[in-house]
Amino acid sequence: MINIVFLTISDVYARHLIGFTINKQEEVSMAESISLAVTGMKCGGCESNVSMKLKDVEGVITVVASSKDNKVDVTFDPSKTALKTIVQVITDAGFLVEP
């Protein structure tokens, strides 16, 4: 199950979801927030593995991975990366993204 909502980067910033400074130009671009059902994560190590790999992708803003909930929440700039890329990174890390 994939839920997609649209929000502006400034909304995201206001919600304290990003920890770095943004410039005016980035503030007007759109961020997309998705919640992916991911199976195979067993512990905090798996969560960090997925999180670190996703955070290395240009355009990924925030990642919250939960092995308990079998869920990975990602906020990203769709002008810099795509859902397809995010799913690929998770898959390459050895986890299964449920359709």
Looking at the Cβ atoms of 14 and 45, the one nearer to Cu ion is 45
Contact assessment for residue 73 and residue 86, using Cβ atoms and an 8 Å cutoff: no
Residues 34-73 that bind Cu ion (CB under 5 A): 42-43, 45-46
Whole-number Å distance between alpha carbons of 87 and 15 = 25
Looking at the Cβ atoms of 45 and 69, the one nearer to Cu ion is 45
Contact assessment for residue 75 and residue 31, using Cβ atoms and an 8 Å cutoff: yes
Judged by CB under 5 A, the number of residues near Cu ion is 4
Token pair belonging to 97: 């993204």
Residue 63 Cβ vs Cu ion, minimum distance, rounded to whole Å? 16
Residues near Cu ion (CB under 5 A): 42-43, 45-46
